[in-house]
A = this chain, B = another copy of it.
Amino acid sequence: MITLSSDFGSPYPAAMRGVILQASDARIVDVSHEFPRQDVDAAAFWLREILPYFPPAVHCVVVDPGVGTERAAIVIRAGEHALVGPDNGVLLPAARELDDAFEVFEIDYENPESITFHGRDVFAPAAATVHEAGIDDFERDDQFLLTETFVDLSFPEPTEREDGVTGEVLVVDDFGNAITNIPGAYLEGHFGSDVTVNGVWAPARRTYGEVGEDSRVVTVGSHGNVELAVNQDRGDERFSVHPGSRVRLRWT
């Protein structure tokens, strides 16, 4: 199985599918091609949330603002999974979540047909090669070179305060829910109460349905983090936040 993730929209991912299907009978499963454009942090977040739900697979990821520059291409083996993508940190949070004892390999790729479409010319062929060689074994192909040097990426940590906690918005999902870096555990003991978010009042509840339609709510999303939401509307707009915004939660 090979999964595909990118910020390409349509139709560029189709060329990646074609290239893989020329080289492999693998089942191809799309994770998303709608990741926010060239936003390495957002893609890294979603991959960490989603890939652990998959059975062993080769995960081919292209969110790559540095395409055409000197950045390396890598494969990471993490447990029974392999992740293929650019060396810009996008794979690291997911790799660490899948298996902390991951190994990183640099891909010694030939000059690609296009300097701007490594998804088609570098990453899709590498994913097919890893899949055909086997996730346990692919480094027998000497284009994959074990390395200790790679770009890491981690999400910012929230800061606990006497009367609350300060974090930031990591991503906004398609529903407009603003997902923060604040672990949901911080809300325990406050469900049913009101809190303030950047000075604005909002009820802390276990789920959207506990507040009226169109009402703000601070809750814990399916990813386990604190989320700023509005029941049946967009939380990002109603809390005036976007990725990177500071979020000051204060217990009241």
Contacts and interface: CB of A to CB of B under 8 A. Distances in A.
Given A37-B175, A68-B209, A232-B65, A50 B9 contact: no
A209 to B, nearest CB: 4
Contacts of A145: none
A8 to B, nearest CB: 7
A18 B222 contact: no
Nearest to A177: B116
Contacts of A12: 173-174, 222
A175 to B, nearest CB: 7
A69 interface: yes
A9 B19 CA distance: 24
A116 B221 CA distance: 7
B29 A1 contact: no
A173 to B, nearest CB: 7
A185 interface: no
A66 interface: yes
Given A11-B32, A65-B232, A174-B10, A222 B50 contact: no
A22 interface: yes
A116 B3 CA distance: 25
B55 A209 contact: no
A32 B54 contact: no
Residue of A14, A31, A117, A121 with most partner-chain B CB within 10 A: A14
A73 to B, nearest CB: 15
Nearest to A28: B29
Contact of A50 (B15, B22, B34, B50): B15
Q: Which 6 A-B pairs have the closest CB atoms?
A: A68-B207, A117-B222, A18-B53, A9-B174, A11-B32, A114-B222
